[in-house]
Amino acid sequence: MITSIGTYLPTWEAPKGGRQCGADEDAVTMAVAAGLAALASVPAEISSVVLVTRDFALLEGGNAAALLGGLGLSPSTDVVERLGGAPGTHDALTSAERTALVIAVDTEGRAGAAAALIDSEGGDLQAVGRVHRSLPLRAHRSDGEIFEDDDPRLQRERGWRASLEAAALPDKPTVLAGVSRKEAAAFVVGPVIDLPTVGASASLFALAALADASTSGLMVGCEQATLSAASWDPAGVKVVRDEPDPQHPPKTRVSAGPDIKLAFTAYERAFEPKVRWEAARCRSCATLAFPPRHRCLTCGAEAEADLVPLPRTGTVYTSTTIHVPIPSMASPYSLAIVELGDVGVRALVGVTGPGSVDIGTPGRLLFRRVAVRAGIPDYGYAFSPEVTA
């Protein structure tokens, strides 16, 4: 049973429609945003997380530590990283165990992410059938180049349409996820749902759309010639959307130059407090230090502190905009010192979203990719100003 669904769309409009990732976003940050949305209305003890995407931030070493840190889950939580598109998400949902969190992310083309909490109550998704055929019209070569045959007729007629016929489904699908709205129109029953993505997250966006409309039906996820189908009864499922209004991307420039080297000792030492957004609380005097320090600045106690979560809301204490270019980073960019809640801690963070911010502006701290050094993403938090009508 699917208890809740959370969806996330980046702020920025894509040139060919839909949304595109910001400079500080990737599959992990978007997965965290969607996962937090799914858990917002029904906090639960999560036993496992399944991440489905074609765009893993790290191919070696895994993405689990950053993902769990951003979600605020125990580092011992089981994480499965599954390479796949819409059919892969379908299969992950129908095979997931209770208290699993299934997240699907797309960063290329139309970007978006969605997550589903599996538990004992909510909407009922039951596998109906699947077809595995091979028609690799898009493939990544070993040198990183992408091969793509963009013949839509071949993709339709010999790809997912042939798989639909081979599946011999009991009814016409209500939603066809993984293909464009125009392509799906001739093959679905009832109104065509306009989904914001066509990749791994499309299946979850479709489930959310049917839940909003209180509509049951047959769900089909397609990718090239692979197909997975399931019946969906959304009774009782909760949908939480983190979908800000679209905006034009800011004009920035990236200067040429050598990559900034990554100091692995500093990276490892700061990873947990930075990714989990935690401060050290002195056991002697309860003073908070962020980032954590070995010696308390108030009472002088050494190595006697506990890590505690920091508020993820705050107000701007002061801010500035940097125009001086840094190699491999987009400029201009804004920084802010943010007063975090009422705990007496101020943090220096980047500003995500359009433009600069004024003193006193309220907002949220969002999990973001703060830099990429030597191909390795470095995660932390950025300030997102509160949107006023």
Task: Look at residue 283 and tell me if it is in a domain.
Answer: no
CA distance 337 to 359: 9
CATH number at residue 187: 3.40.47.10
Q: Give pLDDT, residue 292.
A: 86
Same domain flag for 83 and 123 = yes
End-to-end CA separation in angstroms for the chain: 37
Per-residue pLDDT band for 115 (boundaries 50, 70, 90) equals very high
Count CB-CB contacts under 10 A for residue 29.
Answer: 29
Lowest mean pLDDT among 15-24, 138-147, 184-193, 199-208: 138-147
CA distance 297 to 232: 57
Task: Look at residue 299 and tell me if it is in a domain.
Answer: no
Same domain flag for 218 and 337 = no
CA distance 293 to 270: 11
Peptide bond into 250 cis (omega under 30): no
Per-residue pLDDT band for 388 (boundaries 50, 70, 90) equals low
- Say if residue 48's pLDDT is above 90: yes
Per-residue pLDDT band for 266 (boundaries 50, 70, 90) equals confident
Same domain flag for 191 and 337 = no
Task: Look at residue 301 and tell me if it is in a domain.
Answer: no
How far is C-alpha 63 from the geometric centre of its chain's CA atoms?
A: 12
Same domain flag for 238 and 344 = no
Tokens 């705050």 belong to 314
Task: Look at residue 99 and tell me if it is in a domain.
Answer: yes
Average pLDDT over residues 63-85: 95
> Is the separation of the CB atoms in 200 and 53 below 8 Å?
yes
Same domain flag for 194 and 332 = no
pLDDT tens column, 267-289: 887 888 889 999 999 999 999 99
Q: Exposure string (b/e) for 256-282, b if CB count within 10 Å is 16 or more?
A: eeeeeeeeeeeeeeebebbbbbbbbbb
Mean pLDDT, the chain, rounded, equals: 90
Task: Look at residue 289 and tell me if it is in a domain.
Answer: no
Helix (H) or strand (E) holding 346: strand 345-351
Per-residue pLDDT band for 389 (boundaries 50, 70, 90) equals low
Q: Mark which of 218, 242, 266 sits at the end of a domain.
A: 242
> What is the bridge-based pairing of β-strands 138-140 and 124-131?
unpaired
Q: CB under 8 Å to 37, separation ≥6 — which residues?
A: 6, 7, 8, 115, 240, 241, 242
Q: Which long-range contacts (CB under 8 A, 24 or more apart) does 212-217 make?
A: 212/239, 215/174, 215/190, 216/174, 217/173, 217/174, 217/175, 217/189, 217/190
Task: Look at residue 161 and tell me if it is in a domain.
Answer: yes
- Per the structure, the complete domain to which residue 129 belongs is given by 2-242
β-partners of residue 282 are 305
Q: Give pLDDT, residue 334.
A: 92
- Say if residue 107's pLDDT is above 60: yes
Same domain flag for 28 and 92 = yes
Same domain flag for 158 and 61 = yes
| Total of domains in the chain | 2
β-partners of residue 373 are 376
Same domain flag for 159 and 258 = no
Same domain flag for 216 and 334 = no
Same domain flag for 137 and 194 = yes
Task: Look at residue 304 and tell me if it is in a domain.
Answer: no
Per-residue pLDDT band for 69 (boundaries 50, 70, 90) equals very high
Helix (H) or strand (E) holding 212: helix 202-212
pLDDT tens column, 180-197: 888 888 888 888 899 999
Tokens 């954590």 belong to 292
**Three-state SS sequence of 80-97:** EEEECCHHHHHHHHHHCC
Same domain flag for 168 and 19 = yes
Sign of the alpha-carbon torsion through 373, 376, 382, 387: positive
Task: Look at residue 237 and tell me if it is in a domain.
Answer: yes
Same domain flag for 235 and 374 = no
